[in-house]
Copies of this chain bind each other. A is one copy, B any other.
């Protein structure tokens, strides 16, 4: 697929949105601020399904729940598009400091971690601030040790601290193993101070020794830092029984609001259905699932739209992006019908900005969009987004992207931890997200304008 291939509908596009479309978008927005569907959907997902990591029984229940929910809410063409997913099972994890001052620690295995030997691993701890710091320690100081990555994720509204921290989570064990380490513990990638470790994916090199990789809660990382600050050798024992099982089938679950226009294009409204296993995936990404389902209903309620709104509830975002990649591959032949994609995957927190990924020369579209969003957010982040984790493969194939920026501070307090539960969802903030996306869906599916095509690039992940 050539990324600059013309959109099928471009020939019909005007310079900007019609007054009628803007009025509909405002009406969808206002209805969103009164919406109850989204909160009800999210309550049901958290109550009736709960944890749903890829390949698990919860994942299968989530797919069945999503199909039933989309049918019940009147979506068209409801279907499950099969996706192959990895299946990793957590097992049990124990960590304790054995010297100089014995204390139990609260830890979880990172997603993909191998087990330790059954007897566990006990070794002296060596601390590294970062991957670069690890390399500067060198093999002499790392061999035979447990490496503790002590770096803290920065707590900022944009979530910018995540990229740095997640590199350590993903690559820490592989890099430490190269230097002879026998295990890895990281300070959780998160911004809270609860006794709640944060899970998340890690990966090994295809060759090389595989050592267990665990995450400590922030207070446990603090304790380890304090014991290390004594200058005495600190020893730790860790054991872990997680394991990888054969791949499973899961599915992207899809429901549509069919477009009524000539040669209707497709607007993807995405969230991911899977979650980590420690919690209910309320914000990550039950909120995105509920937001897009409710927003699509509200957009449709304002009257016929030219383009089809396709709600895509992606499989396995968390552990390898199977759903996003699978969708882009399966739908490659209709990529030029995809006129826009949006994805909600930063929690139902305060919406503060709009980011776009429009083709060249579409600057004039931003102002009318912001005017509709004004009661919700006023900041324009820029034209730099290339989609979220699951819609990134679409944007890398040219599909324009929309993204509402939410406050990432409370999100990364909870993200991937046992604390990501339904009680943490503020219905008013969920409505803010629903209202914003409902307005964007009206605008994108109106067919009034053409958002252009993005230049090509490699798929990106979160």
Contact = CB atoms under 8 A, between A and B. Distances in A.
B50 A101 contact: yes
B222 A422 contact: yes
A104 B47 contact: no
A421 B43 CA distance: 32
Given A195-B196, A279-B195, A103 B419 contact: no
A80 interface: no
B48 A219 contact: no
Contacts of A424: 193, 219
A410 interface: no
A367 interface: no
Interface string A101-141: 11110100000000000000000000000000000000000
Q: Count the copies.
A: 2
A106 B418 contact: yes
B101 A218 contact: no
B50 A219 contact: no
A43 to B, nearest CB: 7
Contact of A423 (B196, B222, B279, B417): B222
Interface residues of A, number: 34
A49 interface: yes
B103 A50 contact: yes
Contact of A219 (B226, B227, B423): B423
Report which residue of A51, A219, A223 has the largest number of chain B beta carbons within 10 angstroms of its beta carbon.
Answer: A219
Interface in A215-235: 218-219, 222-223, 226-227, 230
Most chain B CB within 10 A, of A43, A218, A222, A227, is at A222
27 contacts: A46-B226, A47-B226, A47-B227, A47-B230, A48-B100, A50-B102, A50-B103, A50-B104, A50-B223, A51-B103, A103-B280, A106-B418, A194-B419, A195-B196, A195-B279, A195-B417, A195-B419, A195-B421, A196-B196, A218-B423, A219-B422, A219-B424, A222-B421, A222-B422, A222-B423, A223-B280, A223-B422
Interface of A: 43, 46-51, 57, 100-104, 106, 193-196, 218-219, 222-223, 226-227, 230, 279-280, 417-419, 421-424
